[in-house]
Amino acid sequence: MTNVEQIHPGYHWGDPLQGLDLDVVVTATELRITGRPPTYAMPGHPSDMVWQYENSPRLVAIGQARTGTLAPDVSFANADTDDKLIAFVKRFGPVVASRVLDTRVMPDPESGRREAPGRMVATQNLQEVRNEQVIFRAAFELAVQLNSDTIDDASIQPRIRVIAEKIREWPRQWERECELRSSDWAQWADKPKWQLIPEALQRVTEASESRPDPFFGFKVDGRVVVCELLNTFPGIAFPNLIHLHSSIKFGIRPLLYSLLRRRFAFPRGTDVCASTECRNYFNREREGQKFCSTECSRRQRQRDYWQKSGKDLRRKRSKKRVKPAKGTKDALKDGNAIPSH
């Protein structure tokens, strides 16, 4: 039998100027991301989201810590702090760019001329990427929950409400990307391949306000919402690398939802960390795994031990406190004053 491995040229926003990460400058409100246009010369590129998704279960080296949180979609779903978001952007590029300068196409501001191989400089609004993480986390949770044997029906609609509130910005972002494309490169000034149509937004909004189905609860609404999000970013076949890269040049969000589509259609063993202080999602590397990392496992065992044994330990410690001086007990019992010295 012949084993045929899927081969693709690469799905990443750009190559680093040096090292393994893109260059990111952080300000109070924005991230400025700089990289080179991808050459697709490196198989298994660290920023290739599809390759990293497909191969993350096999990237465990001997002696290496657990890697169940390294898949790009899991990593973004878990990026609930600015530091985590910045680390994600350094690795994969802007999620939704508000501006993009491509010095192959437009003159470099410093040199005043077009350059080869050129650079790409994208601006990512920090609040927008925070919102995108919240939307994706809720969608990721729905996709995992709806494919689980034990569905927490009560948690479905709150996630739908989060999604319905925050995707209202998507039509405005689509219009902005249209403007960016029209000023970028004339022959590739086609409209974005993704679009949240008004009917889809209306269906998501209605699902956020609906009553539970008497037989299925909110499960049907949850599936409707996930499908509307995935259909906003449809799977596309590209005739060449230029068109492929054009689809994510102004933000890698379409790739994130393409990975969510794979996870929804072909579920993986995905769980939330059992640590009460973590609650990150992770891909299970073995059956029965409850924690995303050995550190979370160790800390939770310590907490459980202290909660179980802490009362006895505190009682034993209280007995070891300094006892009253000799004669004090009898003096107090008889009501006699203790002489002062």
What DSSP string describes 48-74? Answer: -HHHHHHHGGG-PPTTPPP-TT-SHHH
CB 98 within 8 A of CB 327: no
Which residue from 206, 181, 204 is spatially nearest to 194, judged by alpha carbons?
A: 181
pLDDT, tens only, 196-220: 999 999 999 999 999 988 888 899 9
pLDDT, tens only, 77-127: 999 999 999 999 999 999 999 999 988 776 666 666 666 678 999 999 999
Instruction: Report how far residue 203's alpha carbon sits from residue 222's, in angstroms, rounded to the nearest whole number.
Output: 11
Kind and range of the H or E element at 294?
helix 294-319
pLDDT, tens only, 8-43: 677 899 999 988 899 999 999 999 999 999 988 877
Which residue, chain included where needed, has tokens 């410093």?
110
Structure tokens at 229: 């999000």
CB 248 within 8 A of CB 254: yes
Residue-wise DSSP of 115-177: -SS--EEEEEEHHHHHHHHHHHHHHHHHHHHHTSSS--GGGHHHHHHHHHHHGGGHHHHHHHH
Instruction: Report how far residue 93's alpha carbon sits from residue 104's, in angstroms, rounded to the nearest whole number.
Output: 18
- Dihedral sign from CA coordinates of 12, 94, 243, 229: positive
Count of residues for the chain?
Answer: 341
CB 22 within 8 A of CB 97: no
Structure tokens at 75: 């990593």
Tell me if residue 16 falls in helix, strand or coil. coil
pLDDT above 80 for 322 = no
Instruction: Report how far residue 277's alpha carbon sits from residue 169's, in angstroms, rounded to the nearest whole number.
Output: 32
CB 7 within 8 A of CB 44: no
Residue 307: the pLDDT is 66
For the chain, count helices (H), then strands (E). Answer: 12, 6
Residue 341: the pLDDT is 45
Instruction: Report how far residue 282's alpha carbon sits from residue 155's, in angstroms, rounded to the nearest whole number.
Output: 19
Enumerate the β-bridge partners of residue 74.
none
CB 263 within 8 A of CB 142: no
Over pLDDT 70: what percentage of the chain?
Answer: 68
- The angle at the Cα of 113, spanning 108 to 117, to the nearest 5 degrees, equals 75
67 vs 43, 59, 130, 243, CA distance in Å? 20, 7, 24, 32
pLDDT, tens only, 209-265: 999 888 888 999 999 999 999 999 999 888 888 888 889 999 999 999 999 999 999
Instruction: Report how far residue 272's alpha carbon sits from residue 284's, in angstroms, rounded to the nearest whole number.
Output: 10
Structure tokens at 17: 């100027």
Quick count: other Cβ atoms within 10 Å of Cβ 183?
11
